[in-house]
Amino acid sequence: MNIKITVIAAAILALSAAAQTPVYLDETCPLDERVADALYRMTTAEKVAILHAQSKFSSPGVQRLGIPGIWCTDGPHGIRPDVLWDEWDQAGATNDSCVAFPALTCLAATWNPEMSALYGKSIGEEARYRNKNVLLGPGVNIYRTPLNGRNFEYMGEDPYLSSRMVIPYIKGVQDNGVAACVKHYALNNQEVDRAHVNVLVDDRTLYEIYLPAFKAAITEGGAWSIMPGYNKYAGDHACENSRLLLDILKGDWEFDGVAISDWGAVHNTEKVAANGLDMEFGSWTNGLNFGASNAYDRYFLALPYLKLIEEGKADTAMLNDKASRVLRLIMRTEMNRNRPYGSLNSPEHYAAARRIAGEGIVLLKNDGNLLPVRAGVKKILVVGENAIKMMTVGGGSSSLKVQREILPLDGIRANASAKGIEVAYERGYVGDVTGEYNGVTTGQDLRDSRPADQLIADAVKAAREADMVIFIGGLNKSDNQDSEGCDRLEYNLPYNQDKVIEALAAANPRLVVVGITGNAYAMPWLDKVPAVVQGWFIGSEAGDAIADVLFGDVNPSGKLPFTFAAALTDYAAHATGDKEMYPGVAGDVTYKEGLDVGYRHTDRLGKDHVNFAFGHGLSYTDFKLGKAVLSESKIPGDGSVTVTVPVTNTGDRKGAEVVQVYVRDVKSSLYRPYKELKAFNKIELDPGKTADVTLTLDKNAFAYYDPATAMWTVEPGKFEILVGTASDDIAGRLPLAVTTPAIWHD
């Protein structure tokens, strides 16, 4: 009897426990049911508490209910080292080094979504291993001006290219149970006065140029979080902007994730409470170098928000929406027991970084086939500070602490040594000899006491004695170069590098210039230099990846994701010198150029104004595009058409080419750019081989945004399909008729 009673009692207790088990802990239940159950159990104070930070990079969960908090980490090129709880200084950890992946300009230059998927998977594994829940990246702000110090973190000037490249990155990261946080939404196109500048842009330009990549990240990539920028749009800060956050993001795009503020980007409790931001990080800090300890309860979404709720001055439904989104993020990440474990500094990650870098490096010019380095070269002179300077430290929030970084000079020497080639080095110029950011130091001593003229003279003397010269210069991660918080001051290369290049070209005609930059720059010496390579900031494997291309172990296949114009005034934002267009007047910057961003403007100017066009990139082999064919000569406005083009590798080595399809509206009721990228495909071919590339154009390829109706519109009429390998290299033109209109809401 006692045993029976005990068994029954135990069963009753088990049933009771089961009945009381929170649904939010049961991963077999639908996600929204789990979120609703957790929300029901929370107090108002607990709901508010999970909306703001508790340290520089973390937010609290609900300890009473066993709901964990969230840990964020900066990206988007690697997992940032840990900092102290309340400060930006290093935590002093010894296990937070990472692999530095190439900057996103390099990823975009691959023009290969498969590389984007590999990138996202790899960096997501590193974030997961470090137990980070939110990776603050990728960035997809459009390249409007080459002066923007943060362009190296983004994916170029074209909304279609950025849209296609961001989606696989997001999916790769989130497959690891780590949320991608797409940034900086939206119109964060300059660092000058970034915290307050008010962007004035017409609706059509907003929807056609500056929003598509964000939309793709949300509606196709399924991003779990997004970061509004520091700037204002139409008078309101992005973090407090109801049109961006409520109308477009959560309304039109049906975003179910979390809008997370940039660090210190919130300014007003009433606005942030009502206008769609969900989590606040980093107020009382500029996001770079100062902050206030123990300020978290004073955040705008902390006690001031709770007070508004308690006084009935803020909407509790909005509070519940914010808290629900944060709970959903927690359950997708930290509370997801099925997440993989991740990995850190693995051989696979270094291999991925090197592969992406090699595919993103762009061969801009190669007169006389100077590259790859050929038999008969016995001595190479390498010149330039960027050959010996670590680039993974500095530049702002993307600064990293790496396990290793192979320098260009070391990569070249290792590759050359295996081929019996001697490599000498000369500095040529002295730029930035520092190497520190937030307590991470490179440990390099780059000081050189020689005068500038002596540095050049020494380099010239050595150049005359070499069979070949490789100049490795460009920009770096210092203030007013490629760096968060400030823009470049000029379009020319800094530190008088143009003079160095001119002198080297006069001393040795076999000169290669390798630019390590995240931005375009002037090339007044271009006619005197036979070979130019765009090397980007490419992270841990920089030296080996550059050497792979220079010596031909990798056949370059990168294409420019933005235009290299001849002069700053060749970019639309700078064409007239109108300060209202850049950097702004009285706090307002006006995008008067409208749709004419990048190649949409520069290609109309002619070749004298463009050094290298959008989509340009050479190979060590040759390709020929055959006659392109359309599947249909006429389509309805809501239909689609395929373009098939045969591609032949006519050279003598294996290589890859990117087929680019642009659409031209022959006659439109509204102004349209002459051509716009609407499809691309990268194909690798053995020498002598031919393969067909087929690309699809749907209704979006023919549409424009009509601000009068707030609708996307396809007009009936004549179109041209332009097929080529760069925006200025069109091999074929195909006429197409659209027979009926199409109209739809975003």
User: Catalytic site residues?
Assistant: 262
Q: From the CB of residue 297, how many other CB atoms can be counted at a distance below 10 Å?
A: 12
With residue 514 as reference, give the H or E element that holds it.
Answer: strand 511-516
Residues 6+ apart with CB under 8 A from 73: 57, 79, 80, 127, 130, 132, 134, 135, 136
Strand partners, 632: none
Buried b (16+ CB within 10 A) or exposed e, 411-428: bbbebbeeeebebebbbb
Is the preceding omega at residue 159 within 30 degrees of 0, hence cis? no
Q: From the CB of residue 355, how many other CB atoms can be counted at a distance below 10 Å?
A: 20
Tell me the three-class secondary structure of 685-723, residue by residue. ECCCCEEEEEEEECHHHHCEEECCCCEEEECCEEEEEEE
Residues 6+ apart with CB under 8 A from 280: 51, 52, 53, 239, 261, 266, 272, 299, 300, 301, 302
Which residue in 132, 133, 185 sits closest to 154, CA to CA? Answer: 185
Helix boundaries (H) for 428-488? 452-464
Q: Which amino acid is at 443?
A: G
CA-to-CA distance for 398 and 641, rounded, in angstroms? 41
Q: From the CB of residue 95, how many other CB atoms can be counted at a distance below 10 Å?
A: 10
- CB 359 within 8 Å of CB 557: yes
CA-to-CA distance for 638 and 284, rounded, in angstroms? 50
CA 376, distance to chain mean position in Å, is 40
Task: Order the strands of the 588-590 sheet from edge to edge.
Answer: 236-237, 232-233, 198-200, 588-590
Which residue in 288, 306, 289 sits closest to 298, CA to CA? Answer: 306
CA 677, distance to chain mean position in Å, is 19
Q: From the CB of residue 530, how many other CB atoms can be counted at a distance below 10 Å?
A: 18
Strands 511-516 and 531-534: parallel
- CB 198 within 8 Å of CB 587: yes
Residues 6+ apart with CB under 8 A from 603: 610, 613, 614, 674, 675, 727, 728
CA-to-CA distance for 172 and 123, rounded, in angstroms? 8
HSE (side-chain half, CA atoms, 13 Å) at 294 = 0
- CB 111 within 8 Å of CB 168: no
Q: Phi, psi at residue 107, to the nearest 5°?
A: -60, -45
Q: Which amino acid is at 87?
A: E
Q: Name the 3-class secondary structure at 536.
A: coil
Place of tokens 């602490």: 401
CA-to-CA distance for 209 and 218, rounded, in angstroms? 16
Q: Name the 3-class secondary structure at 516.
A: strand
With residue 589 as reference, give the H or E element that holds it.
Answer: strand 588-590
Q: What is the CA radius of gyration of the chain?
A: 27
- CB 416 within 8 Å of CB 551: yes
Which residue in 407, 414, 411, 412 sits closest to 391, CA to CA? Answer: 407
Q: Could you tell me where the beta strands, DSSP code E, fall in 454-501? A: 468-474
